[in-house]
Amino acid sequence: MHIEAIELRQIELPFITPFATSGWREDANHSILVRVLAEGAEGWGEAPLGSGPWYNEETQASAWVIACTHLAPMLLAADLTRPEDVDAVYAKVRGNRMARAGFEFAVWDLFGRLQNQSLSSMLGGTRSTVEVGVSVGVQPDLDTLLQVVDGYVNAGYQRVKLKIKPGWDLEPTRLVRTTWPDLRLQVDANSIYTLADAAHLAQLDAYDLLLIEQPLAHDDIIDHAKLQRQLKTPICLDESIVSPEHARWALELNACGVINVKPSRVGGLNAARQIHDLAAAASIPVWCGGMLETGIGRAVNVALASLPNFTLPGDISASNRYFTRDLITTPFGLNPDSTLSVLSGPGNGIVVDGDLLEAITRTKVVLTAKT
């Protein structure tokens, strides 16, 4: 199959509340949307970039240049027989995995719609609902934190993740744990600590956490292995695992007890599934992380989380946790058992809200295949 045209958009969709991590703040979704067209069908993908190079090295602006200059022309020149072929198309591209992922997602969606198969079933998903939690940003004070967590617990979320940083770690965690003794709780440091903080981080072992996510440097594996030997709580790697090879290295070094799989971080669903398989073979559970995606990216995350070794709740919250109006016509709602339903329609199963799309598009480009 040849892709006939690719439509690219830079969007800006404000969050209901700004999201603060240990090192930066996001006020809006700044994704690049990819729409591919072939054989009378279309496929949509979301590359969930940030406003700046804070989570990884990519930004909406940098990925836009790479997408327009290289990734779109390479895909338009390719002959695809299945979605996995996109990896070969981009084999010589270094890094830029979020930008790549947007195209790969769109191709999976296109094949699913043409073959009338849901993304979950194409990937080998085994469940029709997936357990989810909510990621709570750094708050201005402890009273606000309690109010925010209380709101999510009342909304039905049975797992909460707290963003932590020096000065906002032990006390918020202790307070949430003592207020909700049975809540499934975990923390995420987004790379803010060093090995010198090992004794400090070991104090988190007192709070019965599911995991401690990415405490050390964004590109580290070795120090995480050293830290894991000093903690009872499993370390979960996020930023450090950018490819199946990185997952293999982390598993061989015992650098973590859990892996957060974000298909966008690793360049797409094919790499994400390979990481899932490697972790399963090593008896290491995985869960699906999030990048504050619109419903387009959320549908992909839900489909991925339907695979068997996704045994911990994902950072895949309902649409109304992020946006007053999501970019899809049927927003994701939280089921009473703290799950989201896997979509069963062809491809990613969503319908894009065309009016909202036009309203939030900042830049749009259409590229066509040379004939």
Choose which of 289, 313, 346, 347 interacts with ligand OSB (CB under 6 A): 289
Q: What is the spatial distance between Cα 272 and Cα 263, in angstroms, rounded to a whole number?
A: 5
Q: How far is CA 188 from the centre of its chain?
A: 14
| Residue (of 9, 45, 31, 28) closest to 303 by Cα position | 45
Binding residues for Mg ion restricted to 217-256, rule: CB under 5 A: 238
Cα 290 to chain center, whole Å? 3
Q: Contact between 46 and ligand OSB (CB under 6 A)?
A: no
Taking contact as CB under 6 A, which single stretch among the options 114-122, 221-229, 288-296, 345-353 is the one that binds ligand OSB?
288-296
**Cβ distance to ligand OSB smaller for residue 86 or 136:** 136
Choosing from 7, 188, 220, 353, the residue that interacts with Mg ion (CB under 5 A) is 188
Among residues 7, 46, 109, 188, the one that binds ligand OSB under rule CB under 6 A? 188
Tally helices (H) and strands (E) across the chain.
13, 15
Ranked by CB distance to Mg ion, the top (closest) residue is 238
Chain centre to alpha carbon of residue 206: 28
**Minimum CB distance to ligand OSB, residue 3 (Å):** 28
Catalytic residue annotation: 163, 262
Nearest-CB residue for ligand OSB: 290
Beta carbon of residue 325, minimum distance to ligand OSB (angstroms, whole number): 17
Beta pairing class for 32-38 and 5-11: antiparallel
Structure tokens at 270: 């094919």
- Residue 283 and residue 305 in contact, taking contact as beta carbons nearer than 8 Å: no
Residue ranges in 214-243 that form contacts with ligand OSB under rule CB under 6 A: 238
Contact characters 201-220, Mg ion, x per CB under 5 A? ------------x-------
Pick the closer one to ligand OSB by CB: 32 or 291.
291
Partner from Mg ion, ligand OSB, none binding residue 315, C-beta < 5-8 Å depending on class: ligand OSB
Q: Which stretch binds ligand OSB (CB under 6 A): 174-182, 204-212, 286-294, 349-357?
A: 286-294
How far is Cα 57 from Cα 62, in angstroms, rounded to an integer?
9
Select 73 or 285, whichever has its Cβ closest to ligand OSB: 285
Q: What type of residue sits at position 92?
A: K
Assess contact for 268 and 46: CB atoms under 8 A. Answer: no
C-alpha closest to that of 19 among 46, 45, 47, 50: 50
Q: Is 74 helix (H, G, I), strand (E, B) or coil?
A: helix
Would you count residue 292 as binding ligand OSB (CB under 6 A)? yes
Burial 213-240 (b: 16+ CB within 10 A, else e): bbbbbbebbebbbebbeebebbbbbbbb
Please identify, using beta-carbon distances, which residue of 112 and 290 lies nearer to ligand OSB: 290
Which of the ranges 9-17, 31-39, 105-113, 284-292 carries the binding residues for ligand OSB, by CB under 6 A?
284-292
Give me the residues that bind ligand OSB (CB under 6 A), please.
Answer: 55, 135, 188, 190, 238, 289-292, 315, 317
